[in-house]
Structure 1
Amino acid sequence: MPVVVSASVLAAGLSACGTVEQLSAAQKVSKAFDKLGASTSAGVTVSVEASPEQIVAYGKATGDEIEPRSAEALSGLNISVAMASDKPLRESSAFKDASGAGGPGSAAPDKSLRASYVVADRKGTALFEYRQVDAKAYLRADAKGLVKLVGEDPAQVDEVGRELPGELGAIRDVLAGKWVALDLQELADSAKKSGPARPPAPTGRPTLDPNSAKQLTESLKDVFSRTVTFEDKGKKDGAEHVLMSAPARKLIDGVLGAVKPLSAKFPGQFGKLPATAPADVPDKAIGVDLYLKDGRFASATFDLAQLEPGAGPGAAFPVKLAFDQTAPVVQAPAGAVRVSEKDLQNTVLAFAGTADEDGFPGPGSGPVTRPGDGARPGPGKPLTDAQVKELIGLGMTESQIEIFNELGMDFAEIKSLAQEG
């Protein structure tokens, strides 16, 4: 998706871009993105196109060995996203979350948006599904399939289910492969409620004012127009082929320079950005192949090996993004088990009450620990109203703040989490 986002910003802002050939190819991409945003439904599937043999070879070339069994599971893995709305997608919360208008964290979930997310293996078996319909969220997981995917014994799922306490029935339902449902409006309403003596919560995360947004857009347009080129490569399998390429380090340096001025306004999101591209970003041109049919996006392919300096000749790890603007209608599943906010809090508190040998929470008994830390004996130091107000200003809800404090975290630790997003 970063590839698609980068291309759309460039295509929308190009007014002059070198040769006529480049401009013509960029105009095709721009028009394709216009059609995508103007449609009321769309589907995207991201899939691993690399064969098991390519994945094993890629691991050896990059010094990160990949077991054949893991490579077999990873090959063909795909994530499908489908969205439909009563209005153009560019006006829905899925596209407007960055402005705080109706996306996650908003006090008003977008009831017009219907969305579906599915993670499936190469055989098409759904390992995880999430749907959003009428401001309600539904999810289902094939826990045993996910465990098998990472090479572990699926019998562990049954063992964990037997150990769960009674108040964690919702987790038991998930492990059993049942659909569970959450009311997003209920969660949003609860999040904006303030307890006694607490300051009122802001309406959402900090947002860009029109002038700042315009400056950012213009800066990104300038960066992309100076670094990214489009080349018309003719037709392939009935689709128009456009190669989008750019020098990796120069492009990232430019984007960082354009975004860095926002660090003061958004310290949690941009405050820790580096001044230049990380050292492992290759100092060479990288390319993305875009395919258009009837003026609409059909697919995009990208070889991850381009990003690995040590990959060497012959190494390849192709991934593909396939687009479908006639995505199927997303419907609420029948028989979903309702999960309340209290169920969620019980789950967080119960799983944070213990930790395994690596410091990760899990069901059982004993106080929570972290790697290298001692046991946490109970709630952290109470927070002042000023501290709560500061954390809310960083995008956290009172419910989240209270849970973290109950788990033993003090103000500095919770603030650090908020700043890291």
Structure 2
Amino acid sequence: MLAAGLAACGTVEQLSAAQKVSKAFDKLGDSKSAGITVSVEASPEQIVAFGDATGDKIERKTAEALSGLNISVAVASDKPLKELDSLKSLQSPDSSGNVTPDKSLRVSYVLADKKGAALLEYRQVDAKAYLRADAKGLVQLVGEDPAEVDKAAADLPAELKSVKDALAGKWVSLDLQELAESAKKTDGTKKTDGTAPGAPSGRPSLDPDTAKQLTNSLKDVLSRTVTFEAKDKKDGAEHVLMSAPARQLVDGVLQAVKPLSSKFPEQFDKLPSTAPADVPNRNIGVDLYLKGGRFSSATFDFAQLEPKAGPGAAFPVKLAFNESAPTVQVPADAVKLTEQDLQNALLGLLSAGDDEDAPDAGPGAGPGAGPGAGPGAGPAPTAGAPLTAAQAKELTGLGLSEAQIQIFSELGLSYEEIKSFATKS
């Protein structure tokens, strides 16, 4: 969007620094692969000092865990990246709102600590998803006792074995195509608004004229508020400072979007008319680095956004680009998760969560005493009251399968509770 705005604005296009940035965007989009790493560049001392300056104290142990934390993303496709669209390429929704995973897209996400140890990994290859987590490492990251992971795994019932595998750090896999096909099968039965099975769901979409109007408005805002300044080279890379007055930029974006909000998804109706009070009334900047006319990296200091952070406070993060993304491989020995496994896991987690809200519930008291509710939750519930044929028919009409209804009942949920859950879903 920013590059398009620059290219469309003659006065800005004449600035050599802006030209270089715009062309770097274009080259990045022409590539069919990219590796991007976002890392916390702030030292533990800077993080602790930042917490002190903002009045939100950060323990030294937490600061050491946060420093160097990074997320690496690798994306590869059979088409240029600029042609990828988060909805069309990743999901390809048809006119009925159904989705089809794009088998040409290969993606990986890795959350790692400063030593390079992977805490969380996600890969997508050939419309199959693979996930692995170092649950104990993640727990330690937030300052909790990793022994709690073993305790939680021990409390899980047999039907949640796949969740136990995940907690043990094993790779688990999901067939996205199978999940999409399953969604298509149930989509026609869960209409509650009077539409026929298989009919479009009426989800909001942006018509071409509105999209064009929004694009032009945002281009205008960006070209009027964002400035570019060439700086001295650093480590052989050209340095460009991109900056803008924060409140003016946010106000401009809101003024461009607000008049069209009625044509957007419902959440956009809640947008404020002006920038919130915590948006700083000063310039904020991003340092961009280019090598050979292509993006190399960008750095941003989050302290710029914190009104309480005085001079000297810093919390820098870095975004590094690499157009030669590493090959995304299928992990060996991944344990396959089925739709039923996901349902069991979801119901178990719901049962555990509800139990915290209703600690006095006893056997058969409903969702608060189901499997996975944890120590002290009391005996597992007996099955809910048998459903009548009419009740079962109504629940399947809401999109639940017979297997799902049985699991809910075994967890002790009543007909009304199952119906409520299905309706909310």
Please give the range of the TM-score, normalised by the shorter of the 2 chains. 0.7 to 0.9
- The whole-number CA distance in structure 2 between the counterparts of 1:178 and 1:360 is 33
Deviates more, 1:229-238 or 1:65-74: 229-238
The range that moved more, 30-39 or 124-133, is: 30-39
Find the residue that maps to 1:216 and give its secondary structure.
helix
1:292 paired to 2:299 = no
Corresponding residue to 1:30 among 9, 22, 32: 22
* Farther off after superposition, 165-174 or 254-263: 254-263
**Is 1:323 matched with 2:308?**
no
1:307 pairs with one of 293, 305, 308:
305
The match for 2:11 among 16, 36, 52 is 16
The residue that corresponds to 2:53 in the other structure is 61
Q: Which runs of 5+ in 1 are unaligned?
A: 1-5, 370-376, 390-396
Determine helix, strand or coil for the equivalent of 2:311: coil
Q: 1:176 to 1:83 in 2, by over 3 A?
A: same
Instruction: Determine if the alignment matches structure 1 residue 175 to structure 2 residue 170.
Output: no
Provide closer, same or farther for how the CA distance between residues 237 and 38 of structure 1 changes in structure 2, counting only shifts above 3 A: same
Displacement, 1:87?
1.1
Q: 1:321 to 1:350 in 2, by over 3 A?
A: same
Tell me if structure 2 keeps the 8 A contact 1:107–1:204: no
Mean Cα deviation higher: 229-238 or 120-129? 229-238
Aligned 1:149-168 pairs, distance under 5 A: 149-168=141-160
Cα distance between partner residues in 2 of 1:33 and 1:358? 49
Cα gap change, 1:326 to 1:34, in 2 (>3 Å): same
Relative distance call for 1:353 and 1:95 in structure 2 (3 A) is: closer
Give aligned-pair identity as a percent: 66
Report the secondary structure of 1:107's partner residue.
Answer: coil
1:389-404 aligned at under 5 Å gives the runs: none
Structure-1-length-normalised TM-score: 0.82
Deviation for aligned residue 1:367: 4.5
Equivalent AA in structure 2 for residue 90 of structure 1: K
For 1:84, the equivalent position in structure 2 comes to: 76
User: Which letter maps to 1:332?
Assistant: V
**Which range moves more in the overlay, 38-47 or 93-102?**
93-102
**Contact kept in structure 1, 2:6 and 2:12, CA below 8 Å:** no
In the alignment, the residues of structure 2 paired with residue 411 and residue 139 of structure 1 have an alpha-carbon distance, to the nearest angstrom, of 27
Q: Distance in 2 between matches of 1:368 and 1:15?
A: 63
Write out aligned runs for 1:37-48 (5 A): 37-48=29-40
1:208–1:356 CA distance, 2 compared to 1 (3 A): closer
Distance 2:318 2:384 in 1: 48
Once the two structures are TM-superposed, the CA of residue 239 in structure 1 deviates from its matched residue by 0.4
TM superposition score normalised by structure 2: 0.81
* Residue segments in structure 2 that go unaligned for 5+ positions in a row: 192-196, 369-382, 386-390
Matched residues in 2 for 1:90 and 1:378: separation? 52
After TM superposition, give the deviation of residue 88 of structure 1 in Å: 0.8
Structure 1 contact 92–113 (Cα < 8 Å) conserved? no
Look up the equivalent residue of 1:143 and give its one-letter code. A
Shift of 1:137: 0.4
Match of 2:178 among 186, 189, 194: 186
Q: Pairwise CA RMSD of aligned residues?
A: 3.4
* Alpha-carbon separation, structure 2, partners of 1:278 and 1:129: 35
- 8 A contact 1:40–1:89 mirrored in 2: yes
Look up the SS of the partner of 1:335 in the other structure: coil
Equivalent runs, 1:134-283 vs 2, <5 Å: 134-193=126-185, 194-196=187-189, 198=191, 199-202=197-200, 205-283=203-281
Residue correspondences, number: 384
